[in-house]
Amino acid sequence: MRTEILPVRPLTKAAFAPFGSVIETDGAERRLINGGTTERFHALAEATALGEGARAIISIFRGQPFALPLEIAMLERHPLGSQAFVPLDRRPYLVVVAPDAGDRPGDPLAFLASGIQGVNYAAGTWHHPLLALDSASEFVVVDRAGPGDNLQEYFFSDARFRIESLPDA
Amino acid sequence: MRTEILPVRPLTKAAFAPFGSVIETDGAERRLINGGTTERFHALAEATALGEGARAIISIFRGQPFALPLEIAMLERHPLGSQAFVPLDRRPYLVVVAPDAGDRPGDPLAFLASGIQGVNYAAGTWHHPLLALDSASEFVVVDRAGPGDNLQEYFFSDARFRIESLPDA
């Protein structure tokens, strides 16, 4: 059994690109609409809902905070749909993802999302369930509903991954 | 030319039901997920994207604030898709909608949404463009992209609708 300390990097579009989209105004396509009274930061992410009878739904998640050090013991994925999280409390949170390594996750990567960054996990992307920090925090979530099995979980048995500290602000 | 003063009512699911959904945790179906660390307030709204090649996309809108008194001179609708707004700054905002009256809006109704209430306009629902209050405010928006004409605007010529005051807190 090997033990790895996961470094936590600031979340950026470039680093996250293999796993999905970062939902943020920074660097986004900006359109002026509504007679100039609204800026539209356009199509930061797309909701994918695969399969007969699939629908994209909007929910609110309220996540309890996690404290460090934190062990990443499992990841999950949704093969039939994307899943987007946008923070409603403007508080940073952790994002842990992994590349696929043959129907199981490879080694995870950890990112610190700022309070003004959302993420959209592409369909089939291994990720850890919601990791709020500091306080219970709400997120608007856009994901898939409909028939079919849209949840796969993987519990690491041959390695331990630990997050011990956050990047300096 | 008649002039109407629009009363502003607090936004409730029941009053808004003919026009779409209110996105709020209050009164919602609550599921405990992620080993009990997350509450999921499930399927508060559904994203509709009609027509060949349509997609549900996630954007951020930043709306300039409006001051009272405010004249409602026009409404718009999106026949091919729903459009959801969830406030990211936890500030109240105005929601103005109208029933359809034969391919034009009937008399508008005005609601004050709290900072923890989002709305999802059902496809084809007449509504006013974003009406932030007090300060420039950001909203996460879920709406439709794709081919086809998804915007109809109607400018009132036979009536004036004015919002003069908000309900007492």
Confidence bin at B31 (pLDDT 50/70/90):
very high
Domain assignment of residue B168, yes or no:
no
pLDDT tens figures, A7-27: 999 999 999 999 999 999 999
Q: How large is the average pLDDT for residues A95-110?
A: 97
Domain assignment of residue A169, yes or no:
no
- The shortest C-alpha distance from B91 to chain A (Å) reads 11
- Residue B142 sits in which domain range? 2-163
Q: How large is the average pLDDT for residues B65-77?
A: 97
**pTM of this structure:** 0.97
| Strand ranges (E), chain B | 2-5, 8-10, 20-23, 30-33, 38-47, 55-63, 65-66, 70-72, 74-77, 83-87, 93-98, 109-113, 118-121, 126-127, 131-133, 137-145, 152-155, 159-163
Confidence bin at A141 (pLDDT 50/70/90):
very high
Domain assignment of residue A18, yes or no:
yes
CB of B47 less than 8 A from some CB of A:
yes
CA distance A96 to A111: 6
Question: Which CATH number does the domain housing residue B87 bear?
Answer: 2.60.120.480
Mean pLDDT of chain B: 97
Residue of B nearest to A145 (CA): B43
- The shortest C-alpha distance from A26 to chain B (Å) reads 11
Q: Which residues of A touch B116 (CB under 8 A)?
A: 88
Domain assignment of residue A78, yes or no:
yes
Confidence bin at B150 (pLDDT 50/70/90):
very high
Confidence bin at A63 (pLDDT 50/70/90):
very high
The closest CB to that of A38, out of B88, B116, B129, belongs to: B129
Residue A60 has pLDDT above 90, yes or no: yes
Sign of torsion, CA A115 A43 B117 B22? negative
CB of B155 less than 8 A from some CB of A:
no
Q: What is the pLDDT of residue B169?
A: 59
Residue of B nearest to A87 (CA): B88
Domain assignment of residue B63, yes or no:
yes
How many structural domains comprise chain A? Answer: 1
Domain assignment of residue A83, yes or no:
yes
String of DSSP letters for chain A: -EEEEPPEEE--HHHHTTTEEEE-STT--EEEEGGGTEEEEEEEEEE-B-STT-EEEEEEEEEPEE-SSEEE-EEEE-TTB-EEEEESS---EEEEEE-BSSSSB-S-EEEEE-TT-EEEEPTT-EE-S-EEESS-EEEEEEEEESSS---EEEE-SSEEEEE--PPP-
- The four Cα atoms A18, A20, A22, A27 give a dihedral, to 10 degrees, of 60
Q: Which residues of B touch A56 (CB under 8 A)?
A: 46-47, 49, 56, 142
Q: What is the pLDDT of residue A169?
A: 59
Domain assignment of residue B73, yes or no:
yes
Domain assignment of residue B125, yes or no:
yes
- The shortest C-alpha distance from B80 to chain A (Å) reads 15
